[in-house]
Amino acid sequence: MALIEIRGLRRYYVMGDTVVRALDGVNLTIEQGEFLCLMGPSGSGKSTLLNMLGGLDKPTDGSIVVAGHRLSELDENGLALYRQHEVGFVFQSYNLIPTFTAAQNVEFPLVFTGVSPEERRHRAGNLLTELGLGDRLHHHPTEMSGGQQQRVAVARSLINQPHILLGDEPTGNLDSKTGAEILNLFVRLNRTGQTLIIVTHDPRVAEYGTRTIHMLDGRIVEDVENAQTNPDPELSPTEESLS
Amino acid sequence: MKLRDLFLLVVANLNRMRGRVVMTMMGVVIGTAAIVILISLSSGLQASTVDNFSQFGSLNQITVFSGSRFGGDSTAEGLTPSAINDLEDIDGVVAVTPYEQFSGQSVLKYNRLEGFGSIYGIDPLVLPDMNFELSEGSATLGAGAVIIGSGVGSGFSEASDSDQGQGGGPTGGPRMMFGPGAQASDTESTTEALDLYGKTIQLELTRMSEDGQENRTVRLRVAGVLASSGGNEDYNIYMSMKDLDSLLAWSRQERPNWVQDGYSQVMVIAEQDADVTLAVTEEITNRGYFTMSTTSIVESLNSVYAIIEAVLGGVASIALLVAAIGIANTMVMSVLERTREIGLMKAIGARNRDVMAVFLAEASAIGVIGGVIGVIVGLVLAQIIGVVASAVVGTESGTTLVVTPLWLPVFAIVFSLVIGLIAGIYPAFRAVQLDPVRALRSE
Query: pLDDT tens, B26-59?
Result: 999 999 999 999 999 888 888 888 777 766 667 7
pLDDT score at B152: 86
d(CA A40, CA A203): 10
List, as one string, the DSSP characters of A109-151.
Answer: HHHTTT--HHHHHHHHHHHHHHTT-GGGTT--GGGS-HHHHHH
Residue A117 has pLDDT above 70, yes or no: yes
Residue B165 has pLDDT above 80, yes or no: no
Nearest by CB to residue B348, choosing from A57, A83, A114, is A83
Per-residue pLDDT tens digits for B296-343: 778 888 888 889 988 988 888 898 899 999 999 999 999 999 999 999
Is there a contact between A117 and B15 if contact means CB atoms under 8 Å apart?
Answer: no
pLDDT band of B401, cuts 50, 70, 90: confident
Residue B325, classed as helix, strand or coil, is: helix
pLDDT, mean of residues B408-432: 95
Is there a contact between B440 and A57 if contact means CB atoms under 8 Å apart?
Answer: no
Q: Helices (DSSP H) in B338-406: which residue ranges?
A: 339-347, 352-393
Residue of A nearest to B15 (CA): A99
Nearest by CB to residue A77, choosing from B1, B15, B351, is B351
pLDDT score at B363: 96
pLDDT score at B288: 83
Which of A4-8, A56-60, B34-38, B58-62 has the weakest average pLDDT? Answer: B58-62
Is there a contact between B437 and A84 if contact means CB atoms under 8 Å apart?
Answer: no
Q: How far apart are the first and last CA of chain B?
A: 27
Percent of chain A scoring above 90 in pLDDT: 81
Is there a contact between A111 and B437 if contact means CB atoms under 8 Å apart?
Answer: no
pLDDT, mean of residues B171-180: 41
Chain B residues within 8 A of A56 when measuring between CB atoms: 346-347, 436-437, 440
Given CB atoms, is B9 within the 8 Å cutoff of chain A? yes
Residue B180 has pLDDT above 80, yes or no: no
Question: What number is the ipTM of this complex?
Answer: 0.91
> Under 8 Å CB-to-CB from B406, ≥6 apart: which residues?
none
User: A46: distance to nearest CA of chain B, Å?
Assistant: 13
> Is the sign of the CA dihedral A39, A40, A43, A49 positive or negative?
negative
pLDDT, mean of residues A84-96: 94
Domain residue ranges in chain A? 32-58+75-242
pLDDT score at B134: 83
Is there a contact between A114 and B1 if contact means CB atoms under 8 Å apart?
Answer: yes
pLDDT score at A231: 53
pLDDT, mean of residues B189-203: 78
Residue with more model confidence, B77 or B144 = B144
Residue of B nearest to A57 (CA): B437
Nearest by CB to residue B440, choosing from A80, A91, A99, is A91
pLDDT score at B196: 84
pLDDT score at B141: 86
Task: List the beta bridge partners of residue B240.
Answer: B122
Task: List the beta bridge partners of residue B209.
Answer: B212
Most confident of A41-50, A222-231, B281-290, B390-399: A41-50
Is there a contact between B349 and A81 if contact means CB atoms under 8 Å apart?
Answer: yes
Residues A230, A210: contact at Cβ < 8 Å?
no
Residues B62, B294: contact at Cβ < 8 Å?
no
Residues B270, B87: contact at Cβ < 8 Å?
no
d(CA A206, CA A221): 16
pLDDT score at A229: 57
d(CA A53, CA B331): 32
Which of A52-66, B70-84, B316-330 has the weakest average pLDDT? Answer: B70-84
Given CB atoms, is B356 within the 8 Å cutoff of chain A? no
Is there a contact between B348 and A76 if contact means CB atoms under 8 Å apart?
Answer: no
pLDDT score at B169: 38
Is there a contact between A57 and B344 if contact means CB atoms under 8 Å apart?
Answer: no
Amino acid residing at B197: Y
pLDDT band of B193, cuts 50, 70, 90: confident
pLDDT band of A26, cuts 50, 70, 90: very high
pLDDT score at A242: 46
Q: Helices (DSSP H) in B218-293: which residue ranges?
A: 241-252, 258-261, 274-286
pLDDT band of A143, cuts 50, 70, 90: very high
pLDDT score at B126: 87
Chain A residues within 8 A of B11 when measuring between CB atoms: none
- Going by CATH, does the domain composed of A32-58+75-242 fall within 3.40.50.300? yes
Residue A217 has pLDDT above 90, yes or no: yes
Residues A96, A152: contact at Cβ < 8 Å?
yes
Is there a contact between A111 and B1 if contact means CB atoms under 8 Å apart?
Answer: yes
Percent of chain B scoring above 90 in pLDDT: 33
**Which of A159, A155, A163, A161 shows the shortest CA–CA distance to A71?**
A163
Residue A169, classed as helix, strand or coil, is: coil
Residues B267, B122: contact at Cβ < 8 Å?
yes
pLDDT score at B186: 44
d(CA A224, CA B99): 114
> Under 8 Å CB-to-CB from A24, ≥6 apart: which residues?
A10, A45, A217, A218, A219
Per-residue pLDDT tens digits for A63-89: 999 999 999 999 999 999 999 999 999
Residue B231, classed as helix, strand or coil, is: coil
List the single best residue of B3, B11, B344 to mutate versus A (max A Cβ within 10 A).
Answer: B344
User: A166: distance to nearest CA of chain B, Å?
Assistant: 11
**Which of B204, B302, B280, B282 shows the shortest CA–CA distance to B247?**
B204
> Under 8 Å CB-to-CB from A101, ≥6 apart: which residues?
A137, A138, A139, A140
Residue B67 has pLDDT above 70, yes or no: no
Residue A182 has pLDDT above 50, yes or no: yes
pLDDT band of B73, cuts 50, 70, 90: low
Given CB atoms, is B3 within the 8 Å cutoff of chain A? no
Chain A residues within 8 A of B13 when measuring between CB atoms: 99
Residue B179 has pLDDT above 50, yes or no: no
Is there a contact between B437 and A56 if contact means CB atoms under 8 Å apart?
Answer: yes
Is there a contact between A81 and B351 if contact means CB atoms under 8 Å apart?
Answer: yes
Residue B195 DSSP label:
-
Is there a contact between A112 and B2 if contact means CB atoms under 8 Å apart?
Answer: no
Residue B138 DSSP label:
-
Residue A238 has pLDDT above 50, yes or no: no
Per-residue pLDDT tens digits for A34-51: 999 999 998 899 999 999
Residues B416, B34: contact at Cβ < 8 Å?
no
Query: What integer best gives the mean pLDDT of chain B?
Result: 84
User: A145: distance to nearest CA of chain B, Å?
Assistant: 20
Q: How far apart are the first and last CA of chain A?
A: 24
pLDDT band of B160, cuts 50, 70, 90: low
Given CB atoms, is A121 within the 8 Å cutoff of chain B? no
pLDDT score at B112: 81
pLDDT, mean of residues A26-36: 94
Residue of A nearest to B433 (CA): A76
pLDDT, mean of residues B357-381: 96
pLDDT score at B172: 38
Chain centre to alpha carbon of residue A74 = 21
pLDDT, mean of residues B104-130: 86
d(CA A53, CA A166): 8
Residue of A nearest to B339 (CA): A95
Nearest by CB to residue B354, choosing from A88, A112, A117, is A112
Chain A residues within 8 A of B437 when measuring between CB atoms: 51, 56-57
d(CA B47, CA B39): 12
Task: Report the greatest alpha carbon distance in chain A.
Answer: 56
pLDDT, mean of residues B220-248: 87
Chain A residues within 8 A of B343 when measuring between CB atoms: 95
Report strand pairing: B113-115 vs B157-158: antiparallel
pLDDT score at B191: 60
pLDDT, mean of residues B363-392: 92
pLDDT score at A108: 95
d(CA B140, CA B254): 28
pLDDT, mean of residues A123-143: 94
Chain A residues within 8 A of B341 when measuring between CB atoms: 95, 97
Given CB atoms, is A156 within the 8 Å cutoff of chain B? yes
d(CA B391, CA B408): 25
Is there a contact between B437 and A91 if contact means CB atoms under 8 Å apart?
Answer: no
pLDDT score at A121: 94
Residue B227 DSSP label:
P
